[in-house]
Amino acid sequence: MAATDIARQVGEGCRTIPLAGHVGFDSLPDQLVNKSVSQGFCFNILCVGETGLGKSTLMDTLFNTKFEGEPATHTQPGVQLRSNTYDLQESNVGLKLTIVSTVGFGDQINKEDSYKPIVEFIDAQFEAYLQEELKIRRVLHTYHDSRIHACLYFIAPTGHSLKSLDLVTMKKLDSKVNIIPIIAKSDAISKSELTKFKIKITSELVSNGVQIYQFPTDDESVAEINGTMNAHLPFAVIGSTEELKIGNKMMKARQYPWGTVQVENEAHCDFVKLREMLIRVNMEDLREQTHSRHYELYRRCKLEEMGFKDTDPDSKPFSLQETYEAKRNEFLGELQKKEEEMRQMFVQRVKEKEAELKEAEKELHEKFDRLKKLHQDEKKKLEDKKKSLDDEVNAFKQRKTAAELLQSQGSQAGGSQTLKRDKEKKNFF
């Protein structure tokens, strides 16, 4: 009997019985709270928006601190993501906060691919977590979860409509992250314009099929406040780290020549609503939605790409072991096929190389024969020239010998005539 069948029967046959006294498992929630507090929590925020919309200032205002960071310029050649992690402590609760900001977003002339680095970054965090899950020895309890839990999308306070860049980017991100749209620097437009702007943004998001994060209403304890806050999206916020004295209190505010805008005054902006919804009420739901919805979608698509399935072609349950064995056999078959193809290719290349070597050897033999014949011809010519020279030398020697002989004979004849004349002279005297 399969384990699922046993679990189903146990569930159907489960009975509710009263306890005669205190047992102690009612302390399970306290145990979970103590364990979670000791381990600490992590929360990752992605701030997407054009340069100069106050992303860093809003983060400083949200967490009432001063994060490290350098102001971004408008000269970036492309969109870059800058990630910083901080350890925060409030009461006895520790929070590992990661803030990821888009540097250079919307600063390029061609903004067609501005969303790609953001999508690639989010997928990279999902892939890192998936690889940790697939390890034989997992350490998920100490693993730093870098998956993005909330995306604060900063909308420029134009008062007209969303930019094409905003619509395209949010459409690409809505299946990968919880998007919370906010109108940055909302004190730049009037209250009536702000109301119309919110309605315009909402209608454009709906008409373009962009799915933004909706605060959950299934929990009775927060259903009323979340339902009310869903109607206020997108939040119109103002950020400021400057404190001014208003009345008898020091409050975060922005000082203008015409007056003062209080950040935490709900009549001035929705900053308090954003902080309550993002941090105090729905932070755990954002973490849960990231894992159960967005990460599960990525994990399912990734495993399907790898060939893993829950059912066989007959729609029957297909265990992971069977899938692994099937993929292993398929891989071994493909490996053997590739090995055979490589062997045949190797044999073919060896034959081609042998043919090339034989052809080269034949050419070398022909060249050698030509050179040998040429050498023989040259040698014969040289021998003929040598013979001719020898004949000339012999003829020259013969002529020389004859000339010397004639010269010697001539000398002897001249000597005898001289003696005869001398004798005649002597007889005369």
Of 203, 201, 209, 204, the residue nearest 182 (C-alpha): 201
Where residue 312 falls among pLDDT bands split at 50, 70, 90?
low
Mean pLDDT of the chain: 87
Q: Would you identify the CATH topology of the domain 39-306?
A: Rossmann fold (3.40.50)
From CA 66, how far away is CA 61, in angstroms rounded? Answer: 8
Of 159, 190, 155, 158, the residue nearest 169 (C-alpha): 155
- Calculate helix-pair angle for 164-173, 116-133, nearest 10 degrees: 10
pLDDT greater than 60 at residue 309 = yes
Of 243, 210, 198, 184, the residue nearest 48 (C-alpha): 184
Helical segments of 190-282, H only: 191-207, 220-230, 271-275
For the chain, the 3-state helix, strand and coil shares in percent, each to the nearest 5, are 55, 15, 30
Where residue 406 falls among pLDDT bands split at 50, 70, 90?
confident
More confident residue, 424 or 136: 136
From CA 205, how far away is CA 318, in angstroms rounded? Answer: 40
| pLDDT, tens only, 171-229 | 999 999 999 999 999 999 999 999 999 999 999 999 999 999 999 998 888 899 999 99
**Considering the chain, what percentage of its residues have pLDDT values greater than 70?**
90
pLDDT greater than 60 at residue 5 = no
From CA 297, how far away is CA 176, in angstroms rounded? Answer: 8
Mean pLDDT of 360-378: 92
| Predicted local confidence at residue 319, as pLDDT | 66
The continuous run of DSSP H or E covering 260 comes out as strand 259-262
From CA 59, how far away is CA 99, in angstroms rounded? Answer: 8
| Predicted local confidence at residue 6, as pLDDT | 45
| Predicted local confidence at residue 241, as pLDDT | 85
Residue type, 2: A
pLDDT greater than 70 at residue 169 = yes
Q: What is the phi-psi region of residue 68: left when phi exceeds 0, alpha when psi lies from -120 to 50, beta otherwise?
A: beta
Where residue 35 falls among pLDDT bands split at 50, 70, 90?
confident
Cα within 13 Å of Cα(140), Cβ side: 10
The residue ranges of DSSP E strands in 285-421, in sequence order, are none
| Predicted local confidence at residue 3, as pLDDT | 46
Contact 259, 161 (CB under 8 A): no
Q: What is the phi-psi region of residue 98: left when phi exceeds 0, alpha when psi lies from -120 to 50, beta otherwise?
A: beta
From CA 66, how far away is CA 297, in angstroms rounded? Answer: 36
Residue type, 410: G
From CA 254, how far away is CA 244, in angstroms rounded? Answer: 8
Where residue 403 falls among pLDDT bands split at 50, 70, 90?
confident
